[in-house]
Structure 1
Amino acid sequence: MARKNLIGISSSDETPTSPADVRPIAGFVPPKARSAPIGGITRTLGNITQKFERAQDIEKQLAEGKLIVELDPVLVDGSFISDRLGMDPAELGTLVDQIREHGQQVPILVRPHPAIDGRYQVAYGHRRLAAVRQLGLRVKAVIRELSDDQLVVSQGQENNARTDLSYIERALFASRLEDRSFERDVIMAALNVDKAALSKMISVVRQIPIELIEAIGAAPQIGRRRWMELAEKLASTHVELKRILGSLSADNSSDQRFQDAFDALTPAMPIKETPRSKPWEPADGSVSVTVRATSKKAVVTYEAKDGPSFATYIAQRLDDLYEAFRKSERTSTGV
């Protein structure tokens, strides 16, 4: 399908350019030169030439990003570098409602696909594109000829301006750019960070398994310090990744999943046993005996008027009492 049938053009006041100056619209073939056309044929060919030059003019403006056009979302692919750990369904639903009520107010930025003629690739506006797709509408877009470097810088700076990427998403974006051999100057420009901050971002991602990052998710409330602490815990403990992943629940928020992973790496504190108390008193209340016992220790307290003397009496008969205790043990166990 020719691209001129897939996009809606707003307006243009640019002067035409020669066909050699710009990329032709996909599907439009310029007329072949003919020798000495006459009469109606001359007028027909003249009209075709004018239409072709007009199409060339429109195409040039699209390439320069001077027009807002409407594209079929089916023809628009995502960026070659992902900068998100999924889309929040609630946030996407809110955006869908806004566009349904007010229309798409801000166009997305795309470039002609570098490998597939007739298709486009998003620089920024992935959520708007997803919302428009749900509504079955055409997406408003600015088309611009962008190099890979220009695309990722535009993508990163738009997200920085909107502050809608979490720390780990930005760090993962930086790591993916470096994996694709982008220069660090380009990555710093895309994320608007200095060299030290970029190094920390990439270091965090290198220390935490990607399976764990993806299982946790964006965790918008978790900043650099907490992610670095998680990386340090992973390096200093030997908890299996499978066990950590098993502690995470899809029903929890991504912030809670981060905390669950952090807790799975924290050694459990020994549970302090609650002492068991067993008070005893004779009918006249002249003595009170309290036993506080754990699995390894027991403390017997003698109180009231006869407490001290009763304690002395028992202490003097410990040999007999212990022998009686051993006999009772043998009787109960049959040994």
Structure 2
Amino acid sequence: MKNSKLLDKASRLDFSRLPGTAPASPDAATPAPPVFTPRPKTAPGALMAFANDTRSELLKENETLRERAQEAEVLRSRLDEALDDLQQWEGAKAARLIEASLVRPSRFANRHPGSFQDADYLKLRHEIQDAGGNVQPIKVRPVRGEEDSSPVRYEVVFGHRRLRACQELGLPVLAMIDNLDDQALFVEMERENRARKDLSAWEQGMMYRSALDSGLFPSNRKLAEAIGVDLSALGKALSLAALPEFIVAAFPSPLTLQFRWAKPLSDALAADAAGMRERVLDLQALPQKLSAREVFERLVDTAPVERRRQGVEPFHPPAARRAIHLGRREVGSIGVDAQGRIDLTLQPETLDPDSDALDALARLIAEFLATRAGGRGG
């Protein structure tokens, strides 16, 4: 009787709710047989099973952390590269295209008109035309206080020739825009032009004089310190800018004046201003154009004027040379220099210098002089 009761209780037990038992299939007519996970029979065994389960979880978590660390390292590397690229642009100003008609030259610029006509400018203009614009940007600053009717919105800091080329070609100009005061504008303009060797010695002198005359700097020394040039070099440039207009006009162009000529020209002018004017007049009377060096040498040479003043050597205004033609072919020329000497020049193939032709030519000249000179030579 006792055994039957135990069997009856055992038949009513639901083993599907026990841990480790497989759930019954919903489609099955009868519940699936229970699946048991072996359980440790001792406390140390249970402790080992718990340790194994914990170790598995730690290994999985460690693997996840390792993968995340690798991803973080890749992101850190990309961030470092981006920061390096950004560092290269630190302090850089963005450039953009603006209408060239909205930009005016700086009032401190002293570009001679010849700067926009020489071979270098024409080459620059051609390059800008081929490229469809200026590849190297100019720098401008916003203009304040302009009348509302004025189209001008910017003033050039540097890049006057690039601006002029774009204006002539009807192209927008690539420009960096920066807010600068007058002194900062002048310093940047001067340093950029000097680095590019764009300005001639005379133009630099005129620019320095403009800055001093406008009160931008209180002294030559302060100006030299601001732009980083030697004080003596600044003085030479200012000496060129201080030359009278009649001396500058004696040269083929002011752009041909050189720094080292400043002191000799200034000294010659200070020693004898009237004599310098006479020498300039002598140069203007010459029929041929002299180079800048030849002009300089004649201006600082006081001998011809001194000889004329002493009556040692008469002065004859030079005459234009006359060409000598044989048929339609020019075979030589004849002229008079500043000392009154008649200069006859014949092409080498015109006359054989080893023949008697020279004697015959000399006799012809003598006969001509006898009839024209009226006995002056006799």
Q: Normalised by the size of structure 1, how large is the TM-score?
A: 0.53
Question: What residue is the counterpart of 1:66 in the other structure?
Answer: 93
Amino acid at match of 2:136: V
Amino acid at match of 1:85: H
Residue 190 of structure 1: how far off its partner (Å): 5.7
| Structure 1: runs of 5 or more not aligned | 1-63, 273-331
Looking at structure 1, the residues matched to 288 and 193 of structure 2 have their Cα atoms a distance apart, in angstroms, of 25
Amino acid at match of 1:188: A
State how 1:34-113 maps to structure 2 within 5 Å: 66-86=93-113, 87-89=115-117, 90-102=119-131, 103-113=133-143
CA contact (8 A) 2:97 2:172 kept: yes
Looking at structure 2, the residues matched to 172 and 258 of structure 1 have their Cα atoms a distance apart, in angstroms, of 21
Looking at structure 2, the residues matched to 246 and 101 of structure 1 have their Cα atoms a distance apart, in angstroms, of 46
Question: What residue is the counterpart of 1:148 in the other structure?
Answer: 182
State how 1:1-335 maps to structure 2 within 5 Å: 66-86=93-113, 87-89=115-117, 90-102=119-131, 103-116=133-146, 119-183=153-217, 184=220, 187-189=223-225, 191-206=227-242, 208-210=243-245, 212-213=247-248, 216=251, 217-220=253-256, 222-237=257-272, 238-239=274-275, 241=277, 244=280, 247=283, 256-257=291-292, 259-260=294-295, 262-264=297-299, 266=301, 267-268=303-304
Q: Secondary structure at 1:140's aligned position in 2?
A: strand
Looking at structure 2, the residues matched to 258 and 179 of structure 1 have their Cα atoms a distance apart, in angstroms, of 30
Residue 191 of structure 1: how far off its partner (Å): 4.4
CA contact (8 A) 2:265 2:299 kept: no
Residue 248 of structure 1: how far off its partner (Å): 5.1
Distance change in 2, residues 1:149/1:245 (3 Å): farther
Question: What residue is the counterpart of 2:54 in the other structure?
Answer: none
Looking at structure 2, the residues matched to 112 and 242 of structure 1 have their Cα atoms a distance apart, in angstroms, of 49
Looking at structure 1, the residues matched to 135 and 288 of structure 2 have their Cα atoms a distance apart, in angstroms, of 33
Cα deviations across residues 294-324 of structure 1 (Å, max 9, x unaligned)?
Answer: xxxxxxxxxxxxxxxxxxxxxxxxxxxxxxx
Distance change in 2, residues 1:65/1:209 (3 Å): farther
Looking at structure 2, the residues matched to 122 and 246 of structure 1 have their Cα atoms a distance apart, in angstroms, of 42
Distance change in 2, residues 1:214/1:138 (3 Å): farther
Distance change in 2, residues 1:91/1:203 (3 Å): closer
Amino acid at match of 2:93: K
Q: Normalised by the size of structure 2, how large is the TM-score?
A: 0.47
Q: How many residues align?
A: 206
RMSD over equivalenced CA pairs, Å: 3.4
Looking at structure 1, the residues matched to 226 and 249 of structure 2 have their Cα atoms a distance apart, in angstroms, of 22
Cα deviations across residues 194-253 of structure 1 (Å, max 9, x unaligned)?
Answer: 2333234324433x1145436643444x4322222111111122136497278359x998
Cα deviations across residues 139-183 of structure 1 (Å, max 9, x unaligned)?
Answer: 111111110000000100001110222222222211121111122
Question: What residue is the counterpart of 2:355 in the other structure?
Answer: none
Residue 187 of structure 1: how far off its partner (Å): 2.4
Q: Secondary structure at 1:247's aligned position in 2?
A: helix
| Structure 2: runs of 5 or more not aligned | 1-90, 315-374
CA contact (8 A) 1:230 1:262 kept: no
CA contact (8 A) 1:155 1:190 kept: no
Looking at structure 1, the residues matched to 283 and 275 of structure 2 have their Cα atoms a distance apart, in angstroms, of 12
CA contact (8 A) 2:205 2:238 kept: yes
Cα deviations across residues 54-81 of structure 1 (Å, max 9, x unaligned)?
Answer: xxxxxxxxxx973212121111110111
Amino acid at match of 1:111: R
Question: What residue is the counterpart of 2:43 in the other structure?
Answer: none
Amino acid at match of 1:178: L
CA contact (8 A) 1:154 1:190 kept: no
Amino acid at match of 1:213: V
Residue 85 of structure 1: how far off its partner (Å): 2.4
Specify which structure has the bigger relative contact order, considering alpha-carbon pairs within 8 angstroms and separated by 6 or more residues: 1
Distance change in 2, residues 1:171/1:106 (3 Å): same
